[in-house]
Amino acid sequence: MNKKVALITGSSRGIGEEIVLLLAENNYHVIINCKTSAAELNAVAAKIESLPGATWESYLADVGDPAAVKEMFTQINARHQKVDLLVNNAGISHLGLLSEMTDEEWDTLLRTNLSSVFYCCREVIPQMVHSKAGRILNISSIWGLVGASCEVAYSASKAGVDGLTKALAKELAPCNIQVNALSLGVIETKMNATFNEEERQVLMDEIPSGRFGTSKEAAQMAYHILTSPTYLTGQVINMDGGLL
C-alpha cells in the first residue's frame, strides 16, 4: 500500500469522523477507533467506502486503557510498517460541581482525555523515531487555557494535553517528528448537546463570531496543521471564533 497511514482515536462521530473523512479524501489510509460502538464505527466506514479509492480499518479499543492501546498497536504494526499520523481526538466531558464529582468520574475523565494521549504517543513514538518522521496532533480545548466553571476536570485534562504537547514536541523535534495541539472553542458536537437553549445563547453572545464552530471547520484546521511545514511544532493553536 502506497498511502500514508493515519490513526484517529475517538473517530466514530463529530470532529473525529470529519477528520477521518477529510484524510481519506486526501489519499490517507485511515484507522478509525472508538471505545464500544461498533455500529457507529460501521456507519463511518460506510461513508469512507463511498469515497473513490479510500481505504480504512477499524478497532474497538478503550484508549484510556494501556493494555487495550498496546493490543491495538500490536495489530496495527502487524499490518503496517508505521503510523505516519496520530490524531489523539478521544475525549469526554463532565458538567457539575467539583465537590460533587466522584473518584470514578474523575479517573474516567482523566484516563479518556489525558492518559489516552500518553498511551497512544508511547506506542507510536518508537516507530516514528526509527523513521525519523511522523506527526502527532492532539485535540484540545480553550478551557485548558482559561478554565470553565463546572468543568474543572475537563479543563484540567486539556491543560495537561497542552503541556504534554509542548514538552513532547521538544523531545521529538531532533527526530523530525512534529507534535501540535488544536485548541477548540465551542463546536457543534454531541458533547455540547447537553446545553439548553438559554445556555447556548449565553455562550453564543460571548463569541465574537456569533455562532458555534462546526466539526467540518475543526477537521479542516486539523488537516491544515497535519500538512503544514515541518518547522511547525510545539504549538497549541486556538480556533474559537475570536472568543479568546
Q: CA 68 to CA 53: how far, in whole Å?
A: 30
Virtual torsion, Cα 239, 174, 33, 5, nearest 10 deg: 110
The 10s digit of each residue's pLDDT in 166-206 is 999 999 999 999 999 999 999 998 766 677 788 888 889 99
Residues of the chain with pLDDT below 50 are: none
Q: Which three cell numbers stand for residue 36?
A: 464500544
Quick one: how many helices (H) and strands (E) in the chain? 9, 7
- Provide the pLDDT for residue 211: 93
Task: Indicate which residue of 28, 154, 223, 231 is catalytic.
Answer: 154
> Cα 234–230–88 angle (5° rounding)?
55
- Give the pLDDT of residue 2: 83
Q: Could you give the CA distance from residue 90 to residue 76 in angstroms, rounded to a whole number?
A: 18
Q: Give the model's pLDDT for residue 236.
A: 98
Terminal C-alpha separation, the chain: 43
Q: Which residues of 96-122 are buried (b: 16+ CB within 10 A; e: fewer)?
A: eeeeeeeeeebeebbbbbbbbbbbbbe
Asked if residue 123 lies in contact with residue 70, where contact means CB atoms within 8 angstroms, the answer is: yes
Is 231 a catalytic site residue? no
Kindly report the backbone phi and psi dihedral angles of residue 2, in degrees, each rounded to the nearest multiple of 5, phi listed first. -100, 25
Find out whether 45 and 54 touch, Cβ atoms under 8 Å.
no
Q: Are 139 and 180 in contact (CB under 8 A)?
A: no
Q: What is the pTM of this model?
A: 0.96
Return the pLDDT at 214: 97
Q: Which CATH superfamily is domain 5-238 in?
A: NAD(P)-binding Rossmann-like Domain (3.40.50.720)
**Can you give the pLDDT at residue 196?**
78
The DSSP secondary structure of 160-200, one letter per residue, reads HHHHHHHHHHHHHGGGTEEEEEEEE--B-SGGGGGS-HHHH
Grid cell of 154 as nine digits: 475537563
